[in-house]
Amino acid sequence: MAIHIHSKAEIDKMRATGRLAAQVLEFIEPFVKPGVTTDELDRRCHDFIVEHDAIPAPLNYKGFPRSICTSINEVVCHGIPGSRTLAEGDIINIDITTILHGFHGDTSEMFLVGEVSDRARALVDVTRRSMWLGIKEVAPRKRIGDIGAAIQDFAQGEHGYGVVEAFCGHGIGRVFHTAPQIAHTGRRGTGMRMKPGMTFTIEPMINEGTHECKILDDGWTAVTLDGRLSAQTEHTILVTEDGYEVLTMRDNAFSM
């Protein structure tokens, strides 16, 4: 696919949908606690999005049945909300994509349910830092491979975690998933050069053990092959004339 370079008017719309996606995560955070079902989280997010004159992009996307993704503990990504109840010590990724005025805003965050183990907390911290190290590589004329290299060097090289290769970040705009693909592993100086006006997601999935995963029988839910924990965080990024802009930044969110 051709890489789309957004106009100023399109960038303004990307900012608006990105901000709304961020607001959904801000809204849902107080409800992420022991005893709450992922179905309730989905319902609340769906209603919030619709009340803001937007569309939850995952709903019916290629057959996905719900409005958000909820990925708990060993689930790498694309967990389907349902009757599962959050328990003390769980970690959960909530993945939000909004469509506002025809443009997509995509973001996700990890939430700690009650008191979690030190190893779970460490994994989430490294995942957040990995994402930001990737984000900080974004600038005009730099290579896409620099993003994955920064993430892999930190999460795998320094901390020994598995960096998922089966899923990647992606271009985004009027289309949910488009070029370029943003791998979270790689070598510096490889891949296409970034240009101002490009928008894409950076969304590393970091596993406590092996980087390998498998898809469950529902055709969506990806889990770690060894059953150990996984974490993911995600932002939608704009390449600017002199660097980057995080379009899905939340108030008081972790940053580097």
* Domains of the chain (ranges, CATH numbers): 8-246 (3.90.230.10)
The mean predicted confidence, pLDDT, of the chain is: 97
Per-residue pLDDT tens over the stretch 60-81: 999 999 999 999 999 999 999 9
The CA R_g of the chain, rounded to the nearest whole Å, is 17
pLDDT of residue 30: 97
pLDDT of residue 137: 98
Per-residue pLDDT tens over the stretch 23-52: 999 999 999 999 999 999 999 999 999 999
Q: Find out whether 183 and 137 touch, Cβ atoms under 8 Å.
A: no
pTM above threshold 0.75: yes
Q: First vs last Cα of the chain: how many Å apart?
A: 32
Say which DSSP state 44 is in. Answer: H
pLDDT > 70: percent of the chain = 100
